[in-house]
Structures are given as structure tokens and as C-alpha cells.
């Protein structure tokens, strides 16, 4: 349908809707610094083919959504050391963006699926805006508990590498980063990685925005206790070879949410390789179908 614009939570949010609006709405929340184009087209087709009205969007500070570059900038070194007073916003603000987008689109509630930072945002939406969430799928994400095993030094270096100085360098770094944090059990589509990185540069490369998102994570603490209070159908998916957010974080997330289903995938790292698309799409579709049947039985509408 093409990229559209909506006003949500006082910001302009760029989004794209795919599929039949009569199907259950499934909102995809992207990870750190990732734009809506980062969702693989084949994975989106798999979700639409399974009967979802899919909405993907640019989080604040990436792509074609509002960039908060005129506001205060975070001291990342201080944030990582525990002083988050310079963080310009939190995950709660990013969750409010999602709720605002749903309101702008006239969607009373939706199924949410988020990857990495997007999983943290989706969890926060479920915690703080439960009326908006029909189900929660948290992929390669975490509760934020700092006692869990942390990223490998090599994966951390990918996260905190210096800003790219050109489109070509951005593409080269995307490929190099994918070799570190990607899925060792599946082939990497280097051409696709380069294509997405190049188009992301064109749409709005903003290293400062990525820093502000990192600060938001640091400023938001951990969600374990709040997740334990959730009463939302949930699915947790994690790669067993993820070097950035370790599989233990996925297990902790599933353990914290009552009744959550945990799916771990051998050979999967911190990405969505072609070889996992159908398995993840099937798992999400099964959750959505179960929830929608229960909604019909309960007489829910909208």
C-alpha cells in the first residue's frame, strides 16, 4: 500500500499496512536503529498469507518518522554506567508511540510482535496499555534483567561501532555486523543485507537517533515483575546462537509471563534468516488464531 504518515503521541510516524484490513491486525515493532524496511519482504508475505493485516512502522528517531535531534542528547557513557539522567525518553514513550499509532489508524487493539528493542517496546505496550494488546510475540528480546548473560564482546562491538561516513560504508558494515551477530546455522543473504542498509541510509541514517534509543533502554530498567502481572497470550521466540541478546534472556522472558509459549531455534542468531520465516510465521499465526477464536467466543468486536 506504500508508506503513509500518521500522528501518534505527538509525533509523525511513518508506516505501511499490508494485507486485508478485515483480517486480525498484527503490528510489527522493529529493533534498535532498524527501519520498517528491515522486515524481510518474504517474511511479511508469509504473515499476510496466513491471514494477518500487517502494519510495520519506523520507530521514533529512525527512517521517516520524527527524529528528536533538536532535543537533549544522551551521555551514553554515563547511561551505560548507570546514570540515565541524560536519556531524552524511555521505552514507555516508545510504547506510547505504538498506542498512538493504533489510535490514529482506528485500531482498537492488535496483536504485537517485536524483535530485539522492538520486543522490549511491545512488552512495555502490553504492560502499560493492556487494552491495546490482543497477544504479544517477543522475538530475540529480553526482560532487561542485567543479571542475565550479556552480549559477547564481538557482538557489543557491532552495537557500538562508530557512525558510517558514507552509503557504501554503511552497507559494508551491515554485512560485517551480520557475520558477527547473524545466524550461523543459516545462509546469509549478503545482497539483501546490503540492499536494506543502502535504502536505510537513503531514508534517514541517524546515529544520534540510535544513541537516543540505546539511552531509552538503559533508562527503563527491567520488566520482570511487571511481566509477571501480565495476563496476555504470549509467544517468546529466540535463536539459540544469539550472541547479542542471549537465549537465556528469551527463556527468562517466557518464564516471567504466565502461560507464555517458548520457541527456541537452533542455528538462529540475532536476525531473521530466510530459513526461519515459515516457522516463526506459523507460530505467530497459531497464537493469533487461538486468541481470535477466544475473542469470538467471548463476543468481542473490533
**Residue 224 Cα distances to 217, 227, 229, angstroms:** 14, 5, 9
| pLDDT tens, residue by residue, 252-292 | 999 999 999 999 999 999 999 999 999 999 999 999 999 99
pTM of the shown model: 0.96
Q: Tell me the domain boundaries of the chain.
A: 4-298
Return d(Cα 212, Cα 67) in angstroms, integer: 10
In this predicted structure, the answer to whether residue 138 has a pLDDT above a threshold of 80 is yes
Burial of 211 (0-12, 13-18, 19+ CB in 10 A): buried
Selection from 29, 90, 87 nearest residue 62 by Cα: 29
Return d(Cα 242, Cα 136) in angstroms, integer: 21
In this predicted structure, the answer to whether residue 210 has a pLDDT above a threshold of 90 is yes
| pLDDT tens, residue by residue, 106-135 | 999 999 999 999 999 999 999 999 999 999
Res. 71 pLDDT band, cuts 50 70 90 = confident
Cell numbers of 211, please?
A: 544513541
Taking residues 78-102, report their average pLDDT.
Answer: 96
Cell numbers of 169, please?
A: 560504508
* CATH number assigned to the domain with residue range 4-298, chosen from the 4 options 3.40.50.1820, 3.90.1010.20, 3.90.700.10, 3.40.50.980: 3.40.50.1820
| pLDDT tens, residue by residue, 217-232 | 999 989 999 999 999 9
DSSP H helices in the chain: 41-49, 76-80, 91-104, 117-128, 153-159, 167-181, 190-204, 207-219, 224-228, 247-256, 277-298
Amino acid at each position: 500500500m506504500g508508506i503513509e504518515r500518521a500522528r501518534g503521541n505527538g509525533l509523525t510516524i511513518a508506516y505501511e499496512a499490508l494485507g486485508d484490513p478485515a483480517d486480525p491486525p498484527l503490528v510489527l515493532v522493529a529493533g534498535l536503529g532498524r527501519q520498517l524496511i528491515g522486515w524481510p519482504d518474504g517474511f511479511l508475505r508469509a504473515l499476510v498469507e496466513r491471514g494477518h493485516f500487517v502494519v510495520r512502522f519506523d520507530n521514533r528517531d529512525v527512517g521517516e518518522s520524527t527524529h528528536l535531534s533538536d532535543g537533549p542528547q544522551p551521555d551514553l557513557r554515563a547511561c551505560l554506567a548507570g546514570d540515565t539522567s541524560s536519556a531524552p525518553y524511555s521505552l514507555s514513550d516508545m510504547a506510547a508511540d505504538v498506542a498512538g499509532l493504533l489510535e490514529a489508524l482506528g485500531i482498537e487493539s492488535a496483536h504485537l510482535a517485536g524483535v530485539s528493542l522492538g520486543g522490549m517496546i511491545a512488552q512495555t505496550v502490553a504492560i502499560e496499555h493492556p487494552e491495546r494488546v490482543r497477544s504479544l510475540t517477543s522475538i530475540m528480546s529480553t526482560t532487561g534483567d542485567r543479571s542475565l548473560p550479556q552480549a559477547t564482546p564481538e557482538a557489543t562491538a557491532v552495537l557500538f561501532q562508530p557512525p558510517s561516513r558514507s552509503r557504501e560504508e554503511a552497507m559494508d558494515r551491515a554485512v560485517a555486523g551480520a557475520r558477527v551477530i547473524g545466524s550461523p546455522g543459516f545462509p546469509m543473504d549478503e545482497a539483501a543485507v546490503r540492499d536494506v542498509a543502502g535504502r536505510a541510509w537513503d531514508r534517514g541514517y541517524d546515529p544520534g537517533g540510535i544513541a537516543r534509543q540505546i539511552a531509552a533502554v538503559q533508562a527503563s530498567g527491567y520488566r520482570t515483575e511487571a511481566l509477571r502481572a501480565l495476563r496476555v497470550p504470549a509467544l517468546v521466540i529466540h535463536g539459540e546462537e544469539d550472541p547479542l541478546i542471549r537465549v537465556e534472556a528469551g527463556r527468562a522472558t517466557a518464564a516471567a509471563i504466565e502461560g507464555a509459549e517458548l520457541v527456541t531455534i537452533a542455528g538462529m542468531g540475532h536476525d531473521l534468516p530466510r530459513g526461519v520465516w515459515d516457522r516463526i510465521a506459523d507460530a505467530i499465526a497459531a497464537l493469533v488464531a487461538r486468541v481470535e477464536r477466544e475473542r469470538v467466543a467471548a463476543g468481542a468486536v473490533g
